[in-house]
C-alpha cells in the first residue's frame, strides 16, 4: 500500500518522506530471457535507494523500466500515488524522472553547457516561432534557465570546461557532466546507473560526495546502481539486491549485509 503520509528523519538529519514510486510485481522478458522476475519494491521521497547485484542481474533493466525505455510484460509502476500507463521515455522524462547511463550517453558533438542545457527541456516551453524571433520570450527563458544551469555547473565544479566540446573530456569528467545534465532537469527521481564505474579512488570519492551533497542540498530522491559495496554501504538508505532477475534482499545496508542469500550471491555459491 502507498503510505504517502509516513516519513522519518535519518540519523544524519535528512528528511525521508512517503513513497513516491512503487514497482509492483514487475516481470520483464526478452524473448526467452527473463531479465526481471516478479520484483516489487518502493522508493521513498528524499532517500538514496541502491540497487545492487552481480553482473547481468537485471539492474540496468530495472532502471530502463522506471525510465520507460522498456515496458514490462507484467506488473505496474505507481508514481506519486497513481498507476502509470504505458509511456514513451520522453513522457516519463517530462514527469520529472532523469537519469544517467551505464555507458555514458552524452551528446558528443555539443559543448558541456549545451549538454547540460538540454537537460532543461522540461522547463523550457517556448514555441518555435518565439524562438525564431529570439528577442523577448525565447531570450528571457534562455537566460533564466542558463542561470539555473550555472548553479549546477558550479555545484559540480565543472565551470572550467563549460564551453569545451564533450568529446574532448576525459572519462571521469564526462560522468560528471552527465550527472549535471540529469540534475538540470530538477528531477523528482534521479536514476544513476553505475556513476562510479571505471573511476579511480579519488574520482569515486568526488562522485560520492556530489551524490550525497545533491541529496542533502536539494533533497533529490536518488536510485543508485553500484558495484562497489563500500560506496553502497556509505551512501544508501536502503538497498534492493537482485540476482538472476529476482529480488533476493531489501532493507537497510546492515540488514542486507547480514542476509544469507545476499552473501551467497556475492560469494558465488552455486544455484540449484
Partner 1 sequence: MFYREAGDFKTSYVDDSQTFPIRVDRYGYYALLAVAFGVLPFLVNDYWVNAVLLPFLIYAIAAIGLNILVGYCGQVSLGTGGFMAVGAYACYKLMTGFPEINIFFHVILSGGITAAVCVLFGLPSLRIKGFYLAVATLAAQFFLVWLFNRVGWFYNYSASGQINAPERTVFGIAVTGAQNPPWAAYLFCLVFTVGCALIARNLTRGMAGRKWMAIRDMDIAAEIIGVNPLKAKLTAFAVSGFFVGIAGALFFSVYLGAIEVGEAFGINKSFLVLFMVIIGGLGSIFGSFAGAAFLVLLPVFLKNVLVGGLGWPTDLAAHLEFMIVGALILIFLIAEPHGLAQLWRVTKEKLRLWPFPH
Ligand X SMILES: Nc1ncnc2c1ncn2[C@@H]1O[C@H](COP(=O)(O)OP(=O)(O)OP(=O)(O)O)[C@@H](O)[C@H]1O
Is the Cβ–Cβ distance between 191 and 66 less than 8 Å? yes
Round to whole Å and give the CA distance between 251 and 42.
11
Nearer to ligand X, 53 or 249 (CB): 53
Contacts with ligand X in 140-159 (CB under 6 A)?
none
Round to whole Å and give the CA distance between 95 and 191.
13
259 binds, among Mg ion, partner 1, ligand X, none (CB under 5 to 8 A by kind): none
Q: Cβ of residue 235: shortest distance to ligand X, in angstroms?
A: 17
Q: Which secondary structure element, helix H or strand E, spans residue 207, and what is its range?
A: helix 201-218
The three grid cell numbers given for residue 195, joined into one nine-digit string: 556513476
Round to whole Å and give the CA distance between 254 and 233.
8
Q: Which of 19, 35, 43, 265 binds ligand X (CB under 6 A)?
A: 35
Round to whole Å and give the CA distance between 121 and 94.
8
Contacts with ligand X in 38-97 (CB under 6 A)?
53, 55-61
Contacts with partner 1 in 137-176 (CB under 8 A)?
138-139, 142-143, 146-147, 150
Round to whole Å and give the CA distance between 149 and 116.
7
Is the Cβ–Cβ distance between 146 and 117 less than 8 Å? yes
Grouping H, G, I as helix, E, B as strand and the rest as coil, residue 227 is coil
- Binding range to Mg ion, per CB under 5 A, among 18-26, 30-38, 52-60, 255-263: 52-60
Q: Which of 27, 40, 102, 126 binds ligand X (CB under 6 A)?
A: 102
201 binds, among Mg ion, partner 1, ligand X, none (CB under 5 to 8 A by kind): none
Round to whole Å and give the CA distance between 241 and 257.
10
The total number of residues shown for the chain amounts to 272
- Binding range to partner 1, per CB under 8 A, among 16-24, 178-186, 238-246, 251-259: 178-186
Q: Which of 95, 102, 164, 259 binds Mg ion (CB under 5 A)?
A: 102
Strands 82-83 and 74-79 turn out to be antiparallel
Q: Which of 26, 60, 79, 175 binds Mg ion (CB under 5 A)?
A: 60
Is position 182 an interface residue for partner 1 (rule: CB under 8 A)? yes
- Binding range to Mg ion, per CB under 5 A, among 15-23, 53-61, 165-173, 229-237: 53-61
Residue appearing with cell numbers 516481470: 27
Is position 87 an interface residue for partner 1 (rule: CB under 8 A)? no
Strands 97-99 and 82-83 turn out to be unpaired
Q: Please give the residue ranges that form the binding site for partner 1 (CB under 8 A).
A: 67-69, 88-90, 93-94, 98-99, 101, 105-110, 114, 117-122, 124, 126, 128, 131-134, 138-139, 142-143, 146-147, 150, 181-182, 185
Q: Please give the residue ranges that form the binding site for ligand X (CB under 6 A).
A: 30, 33, 35, 53, 55-61, 102
Amino acid at each position: 500500500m502507498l503510505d504517502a503520509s509516513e516519513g522519518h528523519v535519518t540519523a544524519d538529519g535528512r528528511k525521508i518522506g512517503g513513497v513516491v514510486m512503487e514497482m509492483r510485481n514487475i516481470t520483464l522478458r526478452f524473448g526467452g530471457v527473463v531479465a526481471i522476475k516478479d520484483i516489487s519494491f518502493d522508493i521513498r521521497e528524499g532517500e538514496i535507494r541502491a540497487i545492487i547485484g552481480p553482473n547481468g542481474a537485471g539492474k540496468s533493466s530495472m532502471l530502463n523500466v522506471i525510465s520507460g525505455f522498456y515496458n514490462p510484460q507484467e506488473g505496474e509502476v505507481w508514481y506519486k500515488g497513481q498507476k502509470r500507463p504505458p509511456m514513451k521515455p520522453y513522457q516519463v522524462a517530462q514527469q520529472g524522472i532523469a537519469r544517467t547511463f551505464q555507458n555514458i550517453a552524452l551528446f558528443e558533438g555539443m559543448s558541456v553547457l549545451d549538454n547540460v542545457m538540454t537537460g532543461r527541456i522540461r522547463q523550457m516551453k517556448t514555441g518555435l516561432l518565439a524562438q525564431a524571433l529570439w528577442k523577448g520570450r525565447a531570450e528571457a527563458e534562455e537566460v533564466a534557465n542558463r542561470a539555473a544551469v550555472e548553479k549546477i555547473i558550479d555545484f559540480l565544479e565543472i565551470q572550467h570546461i563549460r564551453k569545451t566540446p564533450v568529446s574532448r573530456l576525459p572519462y571521469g569528467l564526462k560522468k560528471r557532466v552527465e550527472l549535471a545534465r540529469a540534475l538540470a532537469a530538477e528531477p523528482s527521481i534521479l536514476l544513476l546507473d553505475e556513476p562510479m564505474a571505471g573511476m579511480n579512488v579519488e574520482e569515486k570519492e568526488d562522485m560520492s560526495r556530489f551524490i550525497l551533497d545533491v541529496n542533502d542540498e536539494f533533497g533529490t530522491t536518488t536510485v543508485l546502481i553500484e558495484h562497489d559495496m563500500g560506496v553502497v554501504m556509505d551512501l544508501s538508505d536502503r538497498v534492493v539486491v537482485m540476482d538472476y532477475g529476482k529480488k533476493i534482499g531489501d532493507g537497510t545496508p546492515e540488514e542486507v549485509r547480514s542476509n544469507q542469500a545476499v552473501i551467497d550471491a556475492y560469494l558465488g555459491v552455486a544455484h540449484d
